Chain A
Amino acid sequence: MQHTLNITTRNEASVVERLLQVTRYRGYQLAGLAMTPLTDRAGLQITLTVQSEKPITLLTSQLVKLYDVQQLELASADVAVLRA
Chain B
Amino acid sequence: MKGAELVLKVLQQQGVDTIFGYPGGAIMPIYDAIYHSTVKHYLCRHEQGGAFSAIGYARASGKVGVCLATSGPGATNLITSLADALLDSVPLVAITGQVSQAVMGTDAFQEVDVLGLSLGVTKHSFMVRDVNELAHTLHEAFRLAQSGRPGPVLVDIPKDIQLAEVSEPEWPTLPTARLATSLANAAKARQLIAQAKKPIAYIGGGVQMADALPQLQAFLAESEMPSVTTLKGMGSVARANPHYLGMLGMHGTQAANLAVQQSDLLICFGARFDDRVTGKLDKFAPHAKVIHVDIDPAEINKVRFADCALLGDMKQILPAISTATQCADWLAHCQQLKQQYGWRYDHPGERIFAPLMLKQLSERMPDNSVVCCDVGQHQMWVAQHMRFNSPRNHLSSGGLGTMGFGLPAAIGAKLARPQDTVIAVSGDGSFMMNVQELGTIKRFRLPVKIVIIDNQRLGMVKQWQQLFFNERYSETDLSDNPDFVALAAAFAIPGHTITRKDEVASALEAMFSWPGPYLLHVRIDEKDNVWPLVPPGAANEDMLTETN
Contact = CB atoms under 8 A, between A and B. Distances in A.
A14 B115 contact: yes
B385 interface: no
B298 A21 contact: no
B120 interface: yes
B298 A65 contact: yes
B144 A21 contact: no
Most buried by B among A13, A17, A25, A61: A61
A14 B119 contact: yes
Contacts of B127: 13-14
Contacts of B195: none
A25 B115 CA distance: 17
B38 interface: no
Nearest to B299: A61
B527 interface: no
B116 A17 contact: yes
Greatest chain A CB density within 10 A among B124, B125, B297, B298 is at B298
B178 interface: no
Interface string B442-464: 00000000000000000000000
Contacts of B14: none
A9 B116 CA distance: 18
B36 interface: no
Interface in A6-43: 13-14, 17-18, 21, 25
B119 A18 contact: yes
B344 interface: no
A18 B296 CA distance: 19
Contacts of B124: 66-68
A67 B298 contact: no
B466 interface: no
Nearest to A61: B298
Interface string B121-133: 0011101000000
A14 B301 CA distance: 29
Nearest to A17: B119
B119 A67 contact: no
Interface string A59-83: 0011001111000000000000000
Interface residues of B, number: 15
Given A67-B124, A67-B144, A62 B119 contact: no
B301 A57 contact: yes
A12 to B, nearest CB: 9
Interface string B81-120: 0000000000000000000000000000000000110011
A21 B302 contact: no
A61 B144 CA distance: 18
B53 to A, nearest CB: 26
Interface string B295-310: 0111011100000000
Interface centre among A13, A62, A67 (most CB of B within 10 A): A67
Contacts of A58: 301-302
Contacts of A55: 301
B119 A61 contact: no
Nearest to B296: A65
A34 to B, nearest CB: 21
Contacts of A14: 115-116, 119, 125, 127
A78 to B, nearest CB: 17
Contacts of A68: 124
A19 to B, nearest CB: 10
Contacts of B297: 61
A4 to B, nearest CB: 20
Contacts of B125: 14
A62 to B, nearest CB: 5
Contacts of A62: 298
Given A14-B115, A67-B144, A25 B120 contact: yes
A55 B305 CA distance: 12
Nearest to A14: B115
Q: Which of A13, A17, A21, A65 has most B Cβ within 10 Å?
A: A65
Contacts of B120: 21, 25
B400 to A, nearest CB: 15
A27 to B, nearest CB: 12
A35 B144 CA distance: 26
Nearest to A58: B302
A65 to B, nearest CB: 6
Nearest to B129: A13
Given A14-B119, A61-B302, A62-B298, 16 more contacts: A13-B127, A14-B116, A14-B125, A17-B116, A18-B119, A21-B120, A25-B120, A58-B302, A61-B297, A61-B298, A61-B300, A65-B296, A65-B298, A66-B124, A67-B123, A68-B124
17 contacts: A13-B127, A14-B115, A14-B119, A14-B125, A21-B119, A55-B301, A57-B301, A58-B301, A61-B298, A61-B300, A61-B302, A65-B296, A65-B298, A66-B124, A67-B123, A67-B124, A68-B124
Interface of A: 13-14, 17-18, 21, 25, 55, 57-58, 61-62, 65-68
Please give me the 8 A-B residue pairs with the lowest Cβ-Cβ distance, nearest first. Answer: A61-B298, A67-B124, A21-B119, A62-B298, A61-B297, A21-B120, A18-B119, A14-B115
